[in-house]
Structure 1
Amino acid sequence: MSFLKFILKNPFRRKNSAILAIVGIAIGIIVIVALGGITEGLVDTFEETVHAGGADFQISGKETGDSAYGTNTIDASWTEKIANVSGVEEAYPIYVVLTSVGDDYMNTLIGIDPAGTTMADLSIKEGRIFEDNANEVILGEIYADDNEYEIGDTIEINREDFEVVGIYETGDSNMAGGVFTSISRVGELMDDEDSISNIYVKVAKGQDVQEVADRIDAKYGDDITTITSVMEMEQMADMLNMLEASTWAISLLAIVVGGLGIINTMLMSVFERTREIGVLKAVGWSNTRIMGMIVGESLVITVVSAVIGSVIGVALCLILGPQIGFTPLFTPKIFIQAFAIAIVVGIVGGLYPAFKAVRLPPTEALRYE
């Protein structure tokens, strides 16, 4: 029998002891994997929530002006400059003006690229989004209800006819009564195609919103202003950091408890195999080889525990997650961490029993019954 096969089979000669050790360590691994999946799932959900729909922050003019937001309009070229800043995923310009809309002498007209409507946190309730550079509009649900507009109706904007192609809803009360159309049409209506009011900025996933905003401020702060609201995101990030810290604390506890368990198991193994170890020494096995055997057997137990614990941890999360409305996410990092802990436990747990084994005098070990 080869040395490797010897190590693989030996731990399971005493099944009860091996099973107890595996169960003890596997419980720790289950907790590590399950908590890791929960934490990663929360991180992913948080980032998806933050970065899906709605801009992370806006860019506006620096000085007071006559735009609908009370700031000066800025040149349309700023959109490309902001889009090229590191950490920015998307940047869409908007042009907000107050003009005659339908029967209202003054109402809010918002121009934006059709692809950028998600940045304005809009959801189409009826119809479709307007096409670029077309005489088409979408109306806020409140505005449409108050003025009895339906899909297919015509609405006059600044003395030009536009077709109502969609009704939208939004969580932003400031937008609920607005009218959206293509930004290119707003520029033409206002005879000001090179100006914009604001820029919606979406930060790339994994990037810190405040850091990207600060980066823009540092580069262009003399000419533009970033408008952010990141307190809630910072609080959520703190909570996620606490969860990750808790995962590491539990991992450390698993190392301690698992290490003590494997030390006890391997010490019992050495005690029960005193005569066998004496025979191995008598036939020429070196201390290094015997230590390698004991530590190797310890590693076999902990790696098996890691496999079983990982499978059960994943299964529990996948079964229970949907029932409580939570989707776990398992990344390679979680399993690398779990197996690294198992290996550390195996090495630490096997070293002391291995030292005990090599210190046994062969003559005394052979007399042991």
Structure 2
Amino acid sequence: MDSFSVLGVDPGATAAGPLTAATVSGGRALTSSDAGTDVAVVDATYAASASLAVGGTIDVAGTPFQIVGIVASASSSADTAANVYIPLDVAQKLSGAGDVVSTVYVQAGSSDRIAAIQSALTAALPTATVSSQSDLASTVSGSLASASSLITNLGTWLSIIVLVVAVALAVLFTISGISRRTRELGTLKAIGWSNARVVGQVAGESVVQALIGGVIGVALGLIRALIINIIAPTVSASAGATAGRGPGGGGRGGGSGFGGQLAQTTTEIALHAPLSLWIVGLALVLAVLGGLIAGVFGGWRAARLSAAEALRAVS
């Protein structure tokens, strides 16, 4: 059995309502003259899936409605509030609920008055849910903030783990290099090099290598960041309210629902990789610091070598 959501809307409402965020892709929109008539506007996605077109008919609660228009969401990544839109008075009659509404859209004359109007409506209608576009935006922002915080924390711990592993590997490689340079380091100690000088030599070499690696890593990171900023991949964040299920009424621009569906407010967010001098500087400092730690450990290992034993070693 084919099921779809139906929303009764004020056909004369053009300033506010569920259809203000939709565009007419075929036929026409509902007008004031459509009040009391069996005409409908159909969502483009549903029309395509159900093979409906302008001029055809669709059966709603046993009543055939002529399709006068096709509408699509203004955002390619979000759906409209319902599959089918019909005049409000006709929807109230079909639902059998009488002269009731489930949603009333109010447009303020000035953005400065939104908070005051919202407070007045909340006081006048204590049992109703009063929300504004800023509330929906806060829902989206809150979700994004939570996701961003989770990703940031996860990224921070992953960075720490990677840094620790990288330093540990650098220490191991440095010590391995010391083992291969036993005769060389033993000769230096035999000719009078102090332990501090040996440690400084090994640490200096390690720092230079780390600095070169850091510069190469920063260059690769900058290239990848530039590619991401040029491509600017986007993600969609949505927030919305559910159109009522079962019999119900619609206010100005609102409607009666015969099967609820989400009316979504969608925000497109472009992803980008931030580029700043302090990030580049921090990367280089961490690279040098890691090299210094590895060099000190390796130098300490080299300083413990006995000159006599080192000279007896076979390279």
- What interval of TM-score do these two structures reach, taking the shorter chain for normalisation? 0.3 to 0.5
Q: Could you tell me the TM-score, scaled by structure 1's length?
A: 0.38
Higher relative helix content? 1
